[in-house]
Amino acid sequence: MNNIKVPFGTMTVTDEAKRLLNEIIGSGFLSSGKYVRQFEKEFARLIGTKEAVAVSSGTDADTLALAVLYDYGAKRGDEVIVPALSFVATGNAVLHAGFTPIFVDVELDSLNIDPDKIEAAITERTLAIMPVHLMGKPAEMDKIMALAKKHDLYVVEDAAEAHGSVYKGKNVGTIGDMAAYSLYVAHMISTVEGGIITTDDPEYAEILRSLRSHGRSCNCNSCVLNMGDKSCEKRFRNSLDMRFVFERVGYSSKMNELEAAIGLGNIKAWPEHLGKRKANLQRMMDKFAAFAPHLLTFRIESYEEIGPHAFPIIIGKDASFSRDEFVDHLQERGIDSRNLFLSMPTQCPGFAYLGKKIGEFPVAEHLGNNGLHIGIHQDLGFEQIDYVIEVIEEFLKNK
């Protein structure tokens, strides 16, 4: 049993992806083109939105989704409400977009933003709410959407880890105005690096296509110049080449064809991968309950489906051991883990300029000090899941 290894993450490059990669390399056309367009269409179909716009990272997906709002009257420095606990990219993206992050504490049993604390954070400068579906657990979107409607705010879902998550019969990524996904190697659908924004609004999608390419006015759904056709009826207007007319401040955030090929392979493998992850999550949940109150995890509600990214573990407040002791034991037994992020405003030095103090976000700070997560991905089976449980049981017997 001690020879069993439980790696945190995995990366799948399917045979179909390898075929496409060879085809693309042979063609010599590697920049954004027909396969990126195909990947966008397939991802939109999978999530259930009318549009999807691929970009170069999940952070860029968050950033560009927020930057869309300048076309609708947003001003530099406007405020975006985000959870205090998340991967730091969430807070960084708000700043990259030119806005001010306003942090709200999270709930211990969901790990997500506490919806009952949002309204107190809303001011006359509030522009949007960006809930994060952490570890694939949906945020309380009914309450969030009701607050957004009441105060005339936009909602951008940070769905970086929420591939396959469902909230009250609706796919995560279809509930807010836009949703931003990460396609990094650790995620269920991966392009190695990459991100994608989903929306039902074709105007948002046009702006996103402009933003990802420096803000240029050339923003058609499928650029014929990038598809191998040398002619474009829209290219020249009033003696100007539209590819060099820039309508807004933009970014350089395009996805390339090689990344799209890997993503297309993962979309085909999606039903199998999602099924394996859900089975692993359920097996962990069934066995893990016995470890309370020493070890805790999130609660799964009857009205939701978690799109499993990883399995969160929180050291109980009255536990007789530290997170470091627990993690060391897991590592010695071949089980890889990661800390469960930090309270961005009070535990990440990059946000110290905001002047927030330890104690202002007690739940996020507790999770930052006592949380971790382990893999439940598609390359793990019940043998590894049961081994994790045995290793934890062994640890707790000695404490």
pLDDT of residue 351: 97
Q: Is 377 a catalytic residue?
A: no
pLDDT digits (tens, 9 = 90+) for 192-212: 999 999 999 999 999 999 999
pLDDT of residue 217: 76
**Where residue 391 sits, what CATH number does that domain have?**
3.90.1150.10
Q: Is residue 6 part of a domain?
A: no
Average pLDDT of 344-357?
A: 97
pLDDT of residue 225: 54
C-alpha closest to that of 136 among 390, 399, 376, 326: 376
Average pLDDT of 168-184?
A: 98
Q: Do 73 and 181 have their domain in common? A: yes
Q: Do 94 and 172 have their domain in common? A: yes
Q: Do 355 and 223 have their domain in common? A: no
Q: Do 115 and 183 have their domain in common? A: yes
Average pLDDT of 71-96?
A: 98
pLDDT digits (tens, 9 = 90+) for 284-307: 999 999 999 999 999 999 999 999
Q: Tell me: pLDDT of 159 over 60.
A: yes
Average pLDDT of 79-83?
A: 98
pLDDT of residue 226: 58
pLDDT digits (tens, 9 = 90+) for 367-380: 999 999 999 999 99
Average pLDDT of 92-101?
A: 98
17/5 Cα distance (integer angstroms)? 27
Domain of residue 122 covers 15-262
Q: Which of 133, 163, 187, 329 is catalytic?
A: 187
Lowest mean pLDDT segment, chosen from 8-22, 194-208, 228-242, 351-365: 228-242
pLDDT of residue 328: 97
Q: Do 246 and 127 have their domain in common? A: yes
pLDDT of residue 216: 86
Task: For the chain, give the number of residues.
Answer: 399
pLDDT of residue 228: 54
Q: Do 283 and 246 have their domain in common? A: no
Lowest mean pLDDT segment, chosen from 11-15, 58-62, 259-263: 11-15
Q: Do 249 and 343 have their domain in common? A: no
Average pLDDT of 20-46?
A: 93
- How far does CA 66 lie from the centroid of its chain? 15
pTM of the model: 0.93
Q: Is residue 250 part of a domain?
A: yes
pLDDT digits (tens, 9 = 90+) for 213-247: 998 876 666 664 555 555 666 666 666 666 677 78
pLDDT of residue 372: 98
pLDDT of residue 29: 87
The structure tokens 């070890």 sit at 295
188/349 Cα distance (integer angstroms)? 30
**Where residue 235 sits, what CATH number does that domain have?**
3.40.640.10
> What's the chain look like in SS3?
CCCCCECCCCCCCCHHHHHHHHHHHHHCCCCCCHHHHHHHHHHHHHHCCCEEEEECCHHHHHHHHHHHHHHHCCCCCCEEEEECEECCHHHHHHHHCCCEEEEECECCCCCCECHHHCHHHCCCCEEEECCECHHHCCCCHHHHHHHHHHHCCEEEEECCCCCCCEECCEECCCCCCEEEEECECCCCCCCECCEEEEECCHHHHHHHHHHCECCECCCCCCCHHHHCCCCCCCCEECCEEHHHCECCCCCECCCCHHHHHHHHHHHHHHHHHHHHHHHHHHHHHHHHHHHCCCEECCCCCCCEECCCCCEEEEECCCCCCCHHHHHHHHHHCCECCEECCEEHHHHCHHHHHHCCCCCCCHHHHHHHHHEEEECCCCCCCHHHHHHHHHHHHHHHHCC
Average pLDDT of 309-333?
A: 96
Among the three residues 262, 285, 318, which one is the final residue of a domain in this structure?
262
pLDDT digits (tens, 9 = 90+) for 42-64: 999 999 999 999 999 999 999 99
Omega of the bond leading into 101 within 30 degrees of 0 (cis): no
Among the three residues 211, 229, 262, which one is the final residue of a domain in this structure?
262
Domains of the chain: total: 2
Which residues, at least 6 apart from 36, have a Cβ–Cβ distance to it below 8 Å? Answer: 54, 254, 255, 256, 257, 259, 260
Q: Do 174 and 316 have their domain in common? A: no
Among the three residues 241, 262, 283, which one is the final residue of a domain in this structure?
262
pLDDT of residue 171: 98
pLDDT of residue 242: 65
